[in-house]
Structure 1
């Protein structure tokens, strides 16, 4: 029986039900890249469903039968796509499967930043009543700039449009945008946005897209939300911008290195609302992503068998 390697300790039962013809091998809760290579060598999987860890050339070379690497989610930056292409291995993603979950997390972080939810909660629990001195930010009528207008970005755009925000967005690949999303270039987005939310995949071209230069081009007091990839942000520059007040608050669900290291400078720093990359982690998204990842893998395997009948 052919094997399918899952780079995690589990997969939704609804996804497993689709894969009954295969031997499912789990890599465990926090597999290293070396673990993945060893399991590939041992089981020679026909497919890898990627949840955690990186999958590079070494893993691909350790599995001669490998036809497809299927991402349990939408971001494929942990997969060496150039190495896969060179070996004739397809890389597929569960695009849109977690769109609702991540968009909701972006909205939660945006509102938490605008309304000082976390700070006020802590102060209330400490018995401090800030009504006479606190003013929160009203989002209605303000402009939000979305970098990336795929499934998640557009879902989020609908939410912030409903709040009465003006929505501008940058995405060179987006087509047929709804009429409430105004397409702009990046310099315009930085200049006009009162809040910026990142919804694009991480590539070599946009690494540290949000840096000292681009943050300086933003309005003073801008809100920053990142539920995409930590590598899109220069964390040192963002820390400096929050400390100086150039950024009023940052709501972050992803980080350059995950999990974040002990004594990370964002910890205990006013102006940061942090969550541990759980935007896409809801019960519904877990099922949706598992099923989509399984279906995508099976589609590629079926296509290969059609091309080369036994």
Structure 2
């Protein structure tokens, strides 16, 4: 075992800029697809003072395998894969790289929205098959349409500015948001269902909002809704969404996250018209990779430094 304190990374790599910040620590990589048993074994072997979370979940068993653990730092903004009550009970601080991937995810949301409205994937497939659908196809013009955003953090606000620039009406629901920009009209959740031509999800997953997109809420939406999700798959009742797409209540769904990841094979969405799918890569750009790694490293160092000063 190294004389340096250890940082466990639940992935195979970090940006070199993040590694440089952690020069006083031994960095332990768990590999591309770390499982809980792997992380427990590595925690027992190296007793890390910090864990940087990219893939997989951090459970109480993993925390208990590392008595020296002081901080769990998410390489991204969503901390739903970390058992936060268990961490709090053990005096372990949980941090997130809030805003580090905001530009990347907002751009992915816009790409999915445009893909849904303009039938980009469908028309590409038709063109490659030799078809010319100009006489029969009509896409959706987004200018003048209403988009409802659920979650108005860094990503939601950035996406709102993009939609506003396209002359969309932007309404948003977030009970925790304050000082909203003028381009967002704050509304209650019921107005999101009632008034939106498109809905985009930008909120964290919590026990309270799990499966918030379900048969009941979708039935309260306008017919031919466009739905975009670059947040967490657990926000959506997937069988209910499939039924809504098949019935036409939802015209098309652009999804970057799923209830189980990696996506199960086969999946109920596979081969279904009305779905534009991507493998949770909204935050995966070269710039975001660096930004998230640096932020995760800085958050880890900040917590450890504060504890050293206090101790």
- Pick the TM interval, shorter chain: over 0.9
Residue 296 of structure 1 is matched in structure 2 by 299
Residue 76 of structure 1 is matched in structure 2 by 79
Pairing partner for 1:195 from 193, 198, 202: 198
Deviation at 1:165, TM superposition (A): 0.2
Deviation at 1:260, TM superposition (A): 1.0
Residue 9 of structure 1 is matched in structure 2 by 12
Residues 249-284 of structure 1: per-residue CA shift (max 9 Å, x gap): 000000000111112111110000000000000000
> How far apart are the structure 1 equivalents of 2:98 and 2:263?
26
Report the 3-state secondary structure (helix = DSSP H, G, I; strand = E; otherwise coil) of the residue aligned with 1:204. Answer: coil
Residue 220 of structure 2 is matched in structure 1 by 217
Pairing partner for 2:36 from 27, 33, 36: 33
Task: For structure 2, list consecutive stretches of 5 or more residues without a partner in the other structure.
Answer: none
Pairing partner for 2:140 from 133, 137, 140: 137
Runs of 4+ in 1 over 4 A off after TM superposition: none
> How far apart are the structure 1 equivalents of 2:236 and 2:37?
28
Residues 207-241 of structure 1: per-residue CA shift (max 9 Å, x gap): 00100000001000000000000000000000000
Pairing partner for 2:211 from 181, 190, 208: 208
Q: Is residue 285 of structure 1 aligned with residue 288 of structure 2?
A: yes
Task: For structure 1, list consecutive stretches of 5 or more residues without a partner in the other structure.
Answer: none
Deviation at 1:6, TM superposition (A): 0.3
Q: Is residue 271 of structure 1 aligned with residue 270 of structure 2?
A: no
> How far apart are the structure 2 equivalents of 1:52 and 1:265?
24
> How far apart are the structure 2 equivalents of 1:288 and 1:211?
34
Deviation at 1:299, TM superposition (A): 0.2
Residues 39-63 of structure 1: per-residue CA shift (max 9 Å, x gap): 1111000000000010010111110
Structure 1 residues 109-124: aligned runs within 5 Å: 109-124=112-127
> How far apart are the structure 2 equivalents of 1:212 and 1:258?
22
- CA-based RMSD of the aligned residues comes to 0.4
Q: Is residue 93 of structure 1 aligned with residue 96 of structure 2?
A: yes
Q: Is residue 246 of structure 1 aligned with residue 249 of structure 2?
A: yes
Deviation at 1:7, TM superposition (A): 0.3
Aligned length: 308
Residue 183 of structure 1 is matched in structure 2 by 186
Pairing partner for 2:149 from 143, 146, 150: 146
Deviation at 1:109, TM superposition (A): 0.2
Residues 71-126 of structure 1: per-residue CA shift (max 9 Å, x gap): 00000000000000000000000000000000000000000000000000000000
